[in-house]
């Protein structure tokens, strides 16, 4: 069966799209012996910065000539982006074969679309005999399918309000869910600059070996100081906290690092859709900022680089804090261009326009096609300007598809 057919099949197999819990997926994982898919396992949870942290962990593997598998979600252009071995997305046939083996092993056990994907990544990493498995948590941590593994190091990035309907309506509540990736006597790297009390409390309760930023390691200017070592951190394309998290995590896993390795790894980390610059006249910046915390980081990045009065093309899910996103970015946006997102979660362009009006007292334009929005934003920007495309992964994917065509 081709990959497209498998993806269609597993979309329909389970009645609930997000069915959090480890009993079913854990049982299949045990049947296939996937709880330790590599000699070293990193699991990464948090609200923002997970994908960037995973990319930097992969960069360290490359710098150290260590084989690795990286599982992240969601993807931008192709499903294969979610399962990477040694820097290359695995083939359709490899994923299809993994799905077939999982389908046979599960018997009468029902698995969700995401659970199939998580197990497929673990199975492929095991079959490839990679040295390191890097696993990004999809939602929460405690009940996420990736959390069936036995990690050697857990990482928790910045915690912010997102997915409140599933994880809780406060940072304290959400932190407890993220803390589910901790294990007794296993290092957990925490890079939230203001970690919720509940996160530290959970580390103590579970007996994890917490390594907390500005307590167990310090950022002093552009220097990372940890365990008597000092590393200069070069300018990074992805968020600096993610670079710090990966560096500390590799040290916690027992890998020796020197300045040459740190520089090589951190200078090479990059991801599609994370402050991705597309040259042209005008130029484009693509970013998957889709919650207020990420929007605030994006604003700071844009201001530091001297951008002002950008034209923005925006598409978001309606279950996000859209008003909060707009309030963060409105000071730097000179013109708004809204597109519809498909699916039951997708916000319409008209809805986004209404939220902008209610939250910021501003107006924008709506479009039923991405091409029209991009062309209009470029026209308003002028050849010397810049167009900012931000929002959901679907938004960035749609714009990249348009640019490719």
User: Does residue 376 have a pLDDT over 90?
Assistant: yes
Q: Give residue-wise pLDDT tens across range 72-131.
A: 988 888 999 999 999 999 999 999 999 999 999 999 999 999 999 999 999 999 999 999
Question: Could you give the CA distance from residue 261 to residue 10 in angstroms, rounded to a whole number?
Answer: 41
Tokens 């039951």 — which residue? 344
Sequence-ordered list of residues with C-beta below 8 angstroms from that of 394, at least 6 positions apart, any chain: 315, 341, 342, 346
Give 7-56 pLDDT, tens digit per residue.
Answer: 999 988 877 666 667 899 999 999 999 999 999 999 999 888 899 999 99
- Work out the mean pLDDT of the chain and round it to a whole number: 92
Every domain of the chain with CATH number 3.90.190.20 lies at 276-404
Which two three-digit tokens encode residue 364? Answer: 């924008």
Q: What percent of the chain has pLDDT over 70?
A: 96
Tell me if residue 246 falls in helix, strand or coil: helix
Which DSSP string corresponds to 10-36?
Answer: HHHHSS-SS---SHHHHHHHHHTT-SS
pTM: 0.90
Q: Which residues contact 277 (CB under 8 A, 6 or more apart)?
A: 283, 284, 285, 286
Confidence of residue 384 (pLDDT cuts 50, 70, 90): confident
Dihedral over Cα of 343, 348, 349, 354: its sign: negative
CA-based nearest residue to 198, from 240, 241, 167, 162: 167
Read off the pLDDT of residues 326-367 as tens digits, 9 standing for 90 and up: 999 999 999 999 999 888 888 999 999 999 999 999 999 999
276-404: CATH superfamily:
Mur ligase, C-terminal domain (3.90.190.20)
Handedness of CA 54, 56, 59, 63 (dihedral sign): negative
Task: Indicate where the chain has its CATH 3.40.1190.10 domain(s).
Answer: 3-268
Strands (E), 68-131: 68-71, 83-85, 88-89
CATH 1.20.200.10 fits 3-268, yes or no: no
391 vs 317: CA distance, rounded Å: 8
Give the number of C-alpha atoms closer than 13 A to the C-alpha of residue 70, restricted to the C-beta side.
26
């Amino acid at each position: 069966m081709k990959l497209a057919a498998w993806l269609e099949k597993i979309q329909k197999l389970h009645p609930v799209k997000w069915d959090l819990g480890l009993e079913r997926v854990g049982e299949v994982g045990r049947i296939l012996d996937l709880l330790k898919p590599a000699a070293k396992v990193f699991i990464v949870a948090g609200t923002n910065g997970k994908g960037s942290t995973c990319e930097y962990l992969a960069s360290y593997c490359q710098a150290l000539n260590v084989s690795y598998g990286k599982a992240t979600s969601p993807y931008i252009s192709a499903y294969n982006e979610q399962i990477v071995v040694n820097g290359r997305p695995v083939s359709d046939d490899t994923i299809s074969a993994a799905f077939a083996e999982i389908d046979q092993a599960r018997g009468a056990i029902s698995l969700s679309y995401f659970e199939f994907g998580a197990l497929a990544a673990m199975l492929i990493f095991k079959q490839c005999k990679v040295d390191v498995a890097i696993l990004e948590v999809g939602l929460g941590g405690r009940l996420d399918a990736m959390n069936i593994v036995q990690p050697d190091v857990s990482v928790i990035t910045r915690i912010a309000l997102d997915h409140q309907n599933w994880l809780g309506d406060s940072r304290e509540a959400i932190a407890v869910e993220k803390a589910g990736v901790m294990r007794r006597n296993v290092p957990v790297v925490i890079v939230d600059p203001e970690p919720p009390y509940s996160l530290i409390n959970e580390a103590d309760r579970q007996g994890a070996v917490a390594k907390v930023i500005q307590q167990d390691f310090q950022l002093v200017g552009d220097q990372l100081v940890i365990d008597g070592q000092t590393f200069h951190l070069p300018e990074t394309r992805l968020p600096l906290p993610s670079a710090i998290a990966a560096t500390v995590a590799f040290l916690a896993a027992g890998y020796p690092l020197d300045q040459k390795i740190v520089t090589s790894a951190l200078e090479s980390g990059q991801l599609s859709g994370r402050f991705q610059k597309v040259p042209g006249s005008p130029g484009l910046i693509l970013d998957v900022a889709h919650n207020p915390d990420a929007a605030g980081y994006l604003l700071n990045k844009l201001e530091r680089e001297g951008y002002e009065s950008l034209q923005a093309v925006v598409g978001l899910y309606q279950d996000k804090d859209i008003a909060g996103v707009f309030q963060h970015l409105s000071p730097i946006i000179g013109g708004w261009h809204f597109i519809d997102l498909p699916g039951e979660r997708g916000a319409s362009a008209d809805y986004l326009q209404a939220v902008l009006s209610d939250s910021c007292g501003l107006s924008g334009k709506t479009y039923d096609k991405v091409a029209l929005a991009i062309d209009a934003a470029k026209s308003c920007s002028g050849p010397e300007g810049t167009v900012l495309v931000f929002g959901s992964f679907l938004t960035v994917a749609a714009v990249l598809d348009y640019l490719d065509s």
